[in-house]
Amino acid sequence: MLAVDDLHFAYRRGRQELFGGLTHEFTPGAVTGVTGPSGRGKSTLLYVLGLMLRPSAGQVRYDGQPVHGLSDVDRSHLRAVQVGFVFQDAVLDASRSVLDAVVEPALYAGARRRDVVGRARELLEELGIEIRAEHRPGEISGGQAQRVALCRALVNDPRVVLADEPTGNLDRDNADVVLRVLRRAAQAGRTVVIATHDPYVLEHVDEVLAL
C-alpha cells in the first residue's frame, strides 16, 4: 500500500538531489531496511514517506493514491492515523509522563484521551513498562524510552511504521526488543520501514532497499 514513483528530493533548489528517481513498492507485512552510505537520504526517505517532506519530483502513494500534494491538514491527519514514527532517540517530552507520551498521537488523530488511555496501557504492558506509565522520561532508561516510543508509534494501530535508526542508541538486548516489536508489527500486516546502517539490524529485515 505504500509506494514511491520516480522519487526525487532536494533540500534546496539547486542542491544535491537525492533518490535519483527511486521507484519502489513497500511490502505490507514485511520489514524493509533502507540502507546506504551517510548522506544518501535514508532518514530523508522516511520523512518523505511520512509526509513530513514533499518530494521535489515523483510521487508518494498510499493505497495507490498520490498523497504528497495534499494540504498540510490532510497530510497531518494521514500521518496521525496511518503512520507511526520511531526516532533514533525516543524524543519524549521531558515534562510529561510516559502515558502522556504514548497517548499523544491518538489526540492528533481525533481521539479523546479517555478513549485511548486503555490501549496505551495495554501497549506499555505488552512491552513490560506499564509500571513506568506515570514516570517522566528522565526517570527511565534509554531502552525503556525507546519501548515507550514504540508504544507511541503503535497506539493508533497505523498501517505504516517508519523507524529512523531505532536501535542506534541501544545495547544489543534492547535492540533485540525493539526489532522483535517491529517484526511483530509487520506480522500484523503493517508496512515497517527501518532506516539503518547497522548490519545487525539488516540481518533482521525481510527486504533491503539500498540507496
Partner 1 sequence: MRLSTLVEEAARTATAQRVSSAMVAVLCAAICTVTLLTVGRTAAAEETVLARLDTAGSRLLVVSDDRDAGLVTPAVLQVLSGLDTVERVVGVDTPFDVVNGVVGDGAERVPAWRVAGDPAQVVSLVEGRWPAPGEALVSDAARRRLGMAEPFGFATDTAGVEYPVVGAFTARAPFEAFEAGLVVVADPATATDSVHLVVTGVEAARITEALTLALLAPPDLSQVSVQSPAALADLQRAVSGDLGEYGRGILLLTLGGGAFLIAVVVLAEVLLRRRDLGRRRALGASRWALVGLMVNRTVIAAMPGAAVGTVVGLVAVMRAGDPVPVDFAVAVALLTVLVAAVAAVLPAVLAATRDPVSVLRTP
Q: Can you give the binding site for partner 1, defined by CB under 8 A?
A: 43-44, 47, 50, 52-53, 72-73, 76-77, 79-81, 83, 85, 87-89, 91, 93, 95-96, 100, 104-105, 107-113, 152, 164-165, 168
The C-alpha atoms of residue 197 and residue 167 are separated, in whole angstroms, by: 10
| Residues 6+ positions from 199 with CB-CB distance below 8 Å | none
Q: Which of 73, 74, 79 is nearest to 47 (CA)?
A: 79
Least separation, in Å, of the C-beta of 66 and partner 1? 20
Least separation, in Å, of the C-beta of 43 and partner 1? 6
The C-alpha atoms of residue 45 and residue 143 are separated, in whole angstroms, by: 25
Q: Which is nearer to partner 1, 43 or 56 (CB)?
A: 43
Least separation, in Å, of the C-beta of 203 and partner 1? 22
The C-alpha atoms of residue 117 and residue 186 are separated, in whole angstroms, by: 23
Q: Which is nearer to partner 1, 25 or 93 (CB)?
A: 93
Least separation, in Å, of the C-beta of 71 and partner 1? 9
| Residues 6+ positions from 207 with CB-CB distance below 8 Å | 27, 30, 31, 32, 33
DSSP string computed for 172-203 = HHHHHHHHHHHHHHHHTT-EEEEE---HHHHT
The answer to whether 147 and 177 have CB atoms below 8 angstroms apart is yes
Least separation, in Å, of the C-beta of 105 and partner 1? 4
What three-state secondary structure class fits 29? coil
Q: Which is nearer to partner 1, 44 or 144 (CB)?
A: 44
Q: Which is nearer to partner 1, 25 or 74 (CB)?
A: 74
Q: Which is nearer to partner 1, 27 or 197 (CB)?
A: 197
Q: Which is nearer to partner 1, 29 or 54 (CB)?
A: 54
DSSP at 70:
S
Least separation, in Å, of the C-beta of 134 and partner 1? 13
